[in-house]
A and B are shown apart, each in its own frame.
Chain A
């Protein structure tokens, strides 16, 4: 089974294979993957019309061209040892499937290639006459297939490959037909883009009317056109795409982010740092290359993958920046192993200082503000706020907590569970009832995803509203945020930078008897559910920001950015 093109240890492969809880035969897994790819293709093709091309820049800051170049560049022969199972305790079967299949790298390559020609086709149709390029892409496809055929494959594998190729060709033909028709759509979309940009610049409240009449771009809120990354069903299938150049820890992480099993900026950052540690540990320098530099480029690929699964959190970005800085500063005279252990140690230290100790310091500060008979209002789930309240409870303070929760994530329920387990007296309600309780509340504690340089707070959708109501009732609002989440970006509204999550979550109702009237919203062109992840709270709603350095007014955030070591 060992391929000459990759340097995978046979023993490790076997280990990986046995480690898989659901052993599937190679053929079956391949068939599965091929079908999924075909399905992905289908949806991709259908959504061509709705995809706004032109100056489209993905969330990781790269255009499609650059991303492809990156991928192509990353197709070196990197040694990946798949034996180590992940330390992160998430229960997903798919990543383990990935692990199993990844060891058969030839198929891996096939998967890669069958996806790129499609993408190139789609990209090309907006820039140049479509027909020529489909032929081009066909050629590339053929070329790559020939490449693969050089490797020794079993008959069954060859058959499967051919099947995949045929599927791809069929789709390409269908693509051609579709490509001819929406030429006029190009113009409309280009106008749309211009108008959108203008609107965003001038801040006008004009919605692009043109699109509504000529060709309704399906199921997109025009104001957020710049944030859509493609259909969500297609996104979900990304879980199954595999890339042999990315460490399985990152693949798993990506899948977890995508399925939103890890939520919260601290949790995501910790998960990423943990995967980073694994990567550093497992990384073997390729011949004639330097440890740090090659690690950095591998890391880049992994991060890009994470970004495509879900845009990076500010905490993650900041942590990565520190890590990269570290890589450049590390003493080149040390041996690889020494470097590795140094990096591990530094990562641990970062976690300790920026997350753990900072949390402790913040908790101490806020505990001074919590007095007996306080009624504290919190929103959603925040690990830091949880810690603060549990610490206050342990210190013997008598207070009550009101938890405000909102759809569709309903994170507050998890918070409620944990607080009740800590024996804190709690009340629970949905965000629409905030005005009802606010008159009796004494303080409001909020967590943050990031603090922006102009003093605005970026946090889960709904935070701004809770702060607004608290402000109108003149209740003090405290935002608790570690300094590593401060970022230099400036934002005044929730439109320019945000994250659009799965619209189906808005439509599905978890109450038993009711089912939503909107379950088949896709059938109606005029209906769009919108699921925003974040919103921006203006600084005048916030009384104080508590960080581990000091308790600040919201306007002093740039001071902290100045004080912290410059990146």
Chain B
């Protein structure tokens, strides 16, 4: 049986050492670890443990949106597995097998997404992206390997300047890119062809939750009639349905350290982009319109 500190250190270990792993996948692997070492012998106990594990992970300083959705999906996965088995040991084994299958599929998802996204990056494209997204980076890398000529504009993305890391990564891949200020999004929009961003969570309405500044970019793209593409793995689909910015849960918007203080003076980490501003979502389930997202979620949870 793992205790709190073990869970936490395992989770943080994965994220620190493996650069390419998203928080959601790391969370799932942690949960799998919990199942493996669980010894109470009851399903109820296991579920309690998993819940605890989730809370611990959310309390780290990593974006909780991805963690929540990944864990939610995994739990659904688990509960469906429970029906078919009789003994606890059997159940545990089935869960672990299924879990591995799930993880394998998730790992393959990025490949599928980058293939789909690559079709849209034609020669002479000028792409605008926001902050740092691994999926988008993969897709751009794929396009560059296919010797397509395109240009990328990256926003610096305060406060953690993750856009600058993206810029450096792109430079290493020898892709022509420019780093722009967050405030220059409106200015640059008329000269780009389309916008490509990642997402931290995809919500039930078909909208996305992503690094702060994505909503502004989507508004600007809509005003200038440019397509807004979102690249995301299906593990990020979540059952949330925010009505507006203030309807987003606080745990998404603010770090746990900040949550204790006065929230009205805090800068949020993420914002919500409604589905009407999104043109297409590229997922491992295929190219979806925002209205198809809720269809998928309904099918899953019913």
Contacts and interface: CB of A to CB of B under 8 A. Distances in A.
Given a CB threshold of 8 Å, the question of whether A touches B is answered with yes
A474 B224 CA distance: 6
Contacts of A526: none
Contacts of A473: 225
B104 to A, nearest CB: 42
Interface in A467-512: 472-474
A300 to B, nearest CB: 52
Chain A interface residue bracket vs B: under 10
Contacts of A474: 190, 224-225
Contacts of B225: 472-474
Give the dominant DSSP class at A's interface: loop
A373 to B, nearest CB: 13
A455 B224 CA distance: 24
Nearest to B193: A439
A26 B202 CA distance: 90
Interface string B222-253: 00110000000000000000000000000000
B21 to A, nearest CB: 39
Contacts of B224: 474
A473 B224 CA distance: 8
Contacts of A472: 225
A473 B225 CA distance: 7
A196 B224 CA distance: 41
A472 B226 CA distance: 11
A473 B227 CA distance: 12
Interface in A86-110: none
A474 B225 CA distance: 7
A201 B190 CA distance: 42
A474 B189 CA distance: 11
B193 to A, nearest CB: 9
Nearest to B224: A474
A163 B225 CA distance: 72
A497 B224 CA distance: 34
Interface string A441-473: 000000000000000000000000000000011
A473 to B, nearest CB: 6
Interface string B169-203: 00000000000000000000010000000000000
Interface string B199-226: 0000000000000000000000000110
Contacts of B190: 474
A472 B225 CA distance: 7
B126 to A, nearest CB: 13
Interface string A270-301: 00000000000000000000000000000000
Nearest to A472: B225
A473 B190 CA distance: 10
Interface in B1-22: none
Interface string A120-139: 00000000000000000000
Nearest to A439: B193
B103 to A, nearest CB: 43
A473 B226 CA distance: 9
Nearest to A473: B225
B135 to A, nearest CB: 27
A472 B222 CA distance: 11
A91 B225 CA distance: 51
B131 to A, nearest CB: 25
B100 to A, nearest CB: 47
B39 to A, nearest CB: 63
A472 B224 CA distance: 9
B277 to A, nearest CB: 16
B224 to A, nearest CB: 5
A369 to B, nearest CB: 16
B204 to A, nearest CB: 31
B94 to A, nearest CB: 54
A371 to B, nearest CB: 14
A472 to B, nearest CB: 7
Interface string A53-74: 0000000000000000000000
A92 B225 CA distance: 52
Interface in B75-109: none
A468 to B, nearest CB: 13
Nearest to B223: A474
B220 to A, nearest CB: 11
Nearest to B226: A474
A343 to B, nearest CB: 52
A389 B302 CA distance: 65
A485 to B, nearest CB: 31
Nearest to A471: B225
Interface in A526-566: none
5 contacts: A472-B225, A473-B225, A474-B190, A474-B224, A474-B225
Interface of B: 190, 224-225
Across the A-B interface, the 4 shortest Cβ-Cβ residue pairs: A474-B224, A474-B225, A473-B225, A472-B225
